[in-house]
Amino acid sequence: MVQVQDKPFVFPGKDDRLALLESEPLVCETPASLLDAETTPAAHFFIRNNGRIPPEVTAPDGWTLTIDGEVRVPLTLTLRDLKVRYPSTTLHMVLECGGNGRAFFEPRASGNPWTHGGVGCAAWTGVRLALVLAEAGLTEVACYTAHYGADAPVNGEDRPALSRGVRIEKACEPHAMLVWGMNGAPLPAIHGGPLRLIIPGWPGSASQKWLTRITIRDREHDGPGMTGFSYRLPVTPLIPGEVGDPKRFRVLESMPVRSVITHPADGARVAAGTLEVRGAAWAGDFSVREVDVSLDGKGWQRAQLRPPRNRYDWQRWSAIVTLPTSGAAVIRARATDENGVSQPDHPVLWNPGGYGGNAIHRVAIWVG
């Protein structure tokens, strides 16, 4: 098992059982057992910052968003405009860091060592991005978005901490949203409030926090986080540890299939007999077809899998397993997506940034 930094985590509104991965910028992941609810409470939701958290705003409704670049009519809208001029929508959608699972790559990949908890599923309220882009009107050459937020790098340079984008087709799909609400409350500042993007199914880095501007581009965006090995996978497999040629890498889009065991907790002591194992599974742009659970890594038992509440929701699952009478036991859960792709035992497609590692989650328990 990978050890994460062993410092206490203290942040207003956050559970102190979150695991701190980095303090400058602030990054923390959620232990799988804190993902046991259908909808992840804000107190349990992971945090990923690449820069400094911007100062909290006193008048959130006056926050402005500019849409420019390859559009017929550039727009500047306040959050109030977004709330009153368009119909609002609430959807349950997974947000997952592109580096989730990175800790299991061998040799070690660079970046925060996420285990399985760089993920959460919240109810996001806002407006469909497509409606606002339609009002601006895309030009013929519009093909990519460029997202800008109010955060500067931790070293105080004069550039955005992160600026990623997506193909225009993804930005225009009905689940891509400009979001101001999380789980029925105003979007917390730490999660990008007053306004952020949620681009579901793709690496979390596309979901810009503290969103101030979307520039429509006529080519793949090249802001911080778009180039080199950032959020990219090799087109053909590398030998693990190899540097690789950035020209032979492509942007990571849909996240791979994954499942987490949310009950029992790793290290739990349980009575012999039967035990309900529970978790969640999701698969980027796709749905999950099945989840199987195993006590020995050889025999697999099908779990009961619930449908998503809406597209891009995670799917909760459960299985009743029969435990040995005493001693250590390891529970594994393996998800398979609608295309028949299953999670591997070890992360495959090694890459220097450690993206897309979706190895099977294992939980060790003590019986008796």
Ligand X SMILES: Nc1nc2c(c(=O)[nH]1)N[C@H]1C(S)=C(S)[C@@H](COP(=O)(O)O)O[C@H]1N2
- Taking the C-alpha atoms of residue 16 and residue 232, their distance in angstroms, rounded to an integer, is 32
- The footprint of ligand X on residues 174-203 (CB under 6 A) is 191-192
- Asked if 162 interacts with ligand X (CB under 6 A), we say yes
Q: Check binding of 161 to ligand X (CB under 6 A).
A: yes
Q: Which of residues 283-322 bind Mo ion (CB under 5 A)?
A: none
Smallest gap, in angstroms, from Cβ of residue 316 to ligand X?
20
Task: Single out the residue of 40, 115, 205, 315 in contact with ligand X (rule: CB under 6 A).
Answer: 205
Count of residues binding ligand X (CB under 6 A)? Answer: 21
Matching residue, tokens 């601006």: 136
What is the DSSP secondary-structure string of 252-316? --SPPPEEEEEESPTT-EE-SSEEEEEEEEEBTTB-EEEEEEESSSSS-EEPEEPPPSSTT--EE
Q: How far is the CB of 249 from Mo ion (least distance, A)?
A: 17
Q: Is 353 in the site for ligand X (CB under 6 A)?
A: no
Residue list 47-86, contact with ligand X (CB under 6 A): 47-51
**Nearest Cα residue to 54 out of 146, 126, 153, 163:** 153
What count of other Cβ atoms lies within 10 Å of the Cβ of residue 38? 14
Please give the Cα distance from 259 to 266 (Å, whole number): 15
Using CB under 6 A, which residues numbered 91 to 130 contact ligand X?
95, 97
CA pair distance 11, 34, nearest whole angstrom = 16
Distances (CA, A) of 218 to 16, 70, 71, 136, 147: 44, 7, 10, 15, 14
For the bound state, the minimum distance from the C-beta of residue 324 to Mo ion, rounded and expressed in Å, comes to 39
Window 169 to 208, contacts with Mo ion (CB under 5 A): 204-205
CB of 338 to ligand X, least distance (A): 24
Cβ atoms within 10 A of the Cβ of 200, count? 28
The residue assigned the tokens 């400009």 is 178
Distance of closest approach, residue 303 Cβ to Mo ion, in angstroms: 28
Question: What binding mask, one character per residue, do residues 76-105 give for Mo ion by CB under 5 A, x or -?
Answer: ---------------------x--------
Q: Tokens 């796709």 belong to which residue? A: 286
Closest CB to Mo ion among residues 151, 292: 151
Q: Given the rule CB under 6 A, which residues bind ligand X?
A: 45-51, 95, 97, 149, 151, 161-162, 191-192, 204-205, 207-210
Q: Given the rule CB under 5 A, which residues bind Mo ion?
A: 48, 97, 204-205
